[in-house]
Amino acid sequence: MLDSLPDPLPITPVDGPLRGVVRPPGSKSLTNRALAVAALAEGTSHLTGVLDSDDTRVMLRALQTLGLAVEHDPDAATVSVTGCGGVLPATEADLFCENSGTSIRFLTALIAAAGRGTYRLDGVARMRERPIGDLADALNALGANVTCDLGTGCPPLTVKTGGLNGGVATVESGASSQFLSALLMAAPAAREPVALRVPGELVSVPYVRMTRGVLETFGVDLIEADSTFCLSPQTPAATDYAVEPDASAASYWFAAAAITGGRITVEGLGADSVQGDMDFLWVLEAMGCEVTIEEDSATVTGPTGGRLKGGQTFDMGPISDTAQTAAAVAVFADGPTTVTGIAHARHKETDRVAAVVTELRKLGQTCEEHADGFTIYPAPVTPATVHTYDDHRMAMSFALIGLRAPGVQIADPGCVAKTYPRFWEDFERLSRTHASGLGAGDEEVTS
Ligand SMILES: O=C(O)C1=C[C@@H](OP(=O)(O)O)[C@@H](O)[C@H](O)C1
Ligand SMILES: C=C(OP(=O)(O)O)C(=O)O
């Protein structure tokens, strides 16, 4: 399906509010965490609701290469993993991690802790610009020998290891929270207790909470005090784990309701979600949307005519994957919107701060670029082809602008495969629910 899309993909504006119900695919972050912890567990874990996308396939393939028994049924969205109990079967491996940050960071720590030999990890050209040196330093303090082969603090990496001894490590976490998450998941396999000290800024805090939640489900004990996380040697217990739908993916549907003045319900994500990106709902509420959160769903009703409130500043540091979604919504606000706290978003699939500003300017918007974010002064949208920089979130968020403005085309639409291969199918079906759907009941859109 993705291969047959026109490139660039023209987006057809809708002439009324979108209404519908949607269930996004499984969370990338939860899928890759559950896979990593299940790999270290004793016994077989059964995961349901798993995401099948480029990023999760990188992780699945890597675990198989490392000698683990992994059974994947993409149609049923299930994976069974028989864990290694603390020592990986493979004593060498060459792992290609594409541009999956979670995979390369989680795997580096997992291998350092449970590997016995020499391993190499690499990715696409952009991955070679994404930092990982702070994770390598922390693993080396615990007894591994991890080197960034080009001396740039980025992949490719060589991991030479006989397992982690344990001890105290400092984890610089200003570039990514994934370093700490990776260490927390790997530390139980060390021979001695591990203390992970986070001395300065910790970005993307909700993802660390998510890691703790997954570890808890697998029976791992962890103590946190004074920015230090302590884990004793232990083996995670294999478990059945149900992955929630992806909250970052849900942000596109919530925003579609906001922009078109419609009403969209996302199923499977409710009050108890463990994903921080659900907080994007409060950005939309501040911009004039009505937000309702139930036990197992969340609904956004956009203001009539999609007239959104501007003149606001949002610190989106904890939820930076939704900053591009916010930028798309900001185009239709009645005043400027400023997003702060996302300097670390410059290290992701692309420099997202620069990409948002560059592409919004093409679409006729006035934008200021700041070190840690941007300000958008809304103006009428001018037709343009949006460059997506191999960043799924550029494609998915900028498509939303095309729902209300003619002439928006999305280059390389297939890049959504990183986390949401069915995105355009859901977009198409949901786009058909406008206007005539009003008062006629919601159309079910599921994936
Ligand atoms: O731990 C995770 O699952 C993630 C953490 C975040 O990265 P940073 O911690 O690098 O901000 C987020 O952007 C990424 O999509 C997923
Ligand atoms: C930043 C992202 O991914 P990762 O860091 O896992 O590559 C993302 O999915 O937006």
What's the pTM?
Answer: 0.96
Bridge pairing between strands 92-96 and 117-122: parallel
CATH superfamily ID and name for 2-25+245-435: Enolpyruvate transferase domain (3.65.10.10)
**What ipTM was reported for this prediction?**
0.99
pLDDT, mean of residues 400-424 = 98
Q: What was the pLDDT predicted at 86?
A: 97
Atom of ligand 1 lying closest to residue 345 CA: 11
The domain segmentation of the chain, as residue ranges, is: 2-25+245-435, 28-225
Give me the amino acid identity at 88: L
445 has a pLDDT exceeding 60? no
Catalytic residues: 321
For residue 78, give the nearest of 69, 70, 89, 90 by alpha carbon: 70
Question: Given this chain, do its domains 2-25+245-435 and 28-225 carry the same CATH topology?
Answer: yes
pLDDT, mean of residues 166-183 = 97
Atom of ligand 1 lying closest to residue 175 CA: 10
pLDDT, mean of residues 386-402 = 98
Q: Which residues line ligand 2 (CB under 6 A)?
A: 99-102, 321, 348-349, 393, 419
Q: Considering just the CA atoms, what is the radius of gyration of the chain in Å? A: 22
Q: What was the pLDDT predicted at 433?
A: 76
- In 66-190, which ranges are continuous DSSP H helix? 101-114, 133-141, 178-186
Cα–Cα distance, 307 to 138 (Å, whole number): 48
pLDDT digits (tens, 9 = 90+) for 368-387: 999 999 999 999 999 999 99
User: Which residue owns the Cα nearest ligand 1 atom 10?
Assistant: 176
441 has a pLDDT exceeding 70? no
Q: How many residues would you count in the chain?
A: 447
CATH number of 28-225: 3.65.10.10
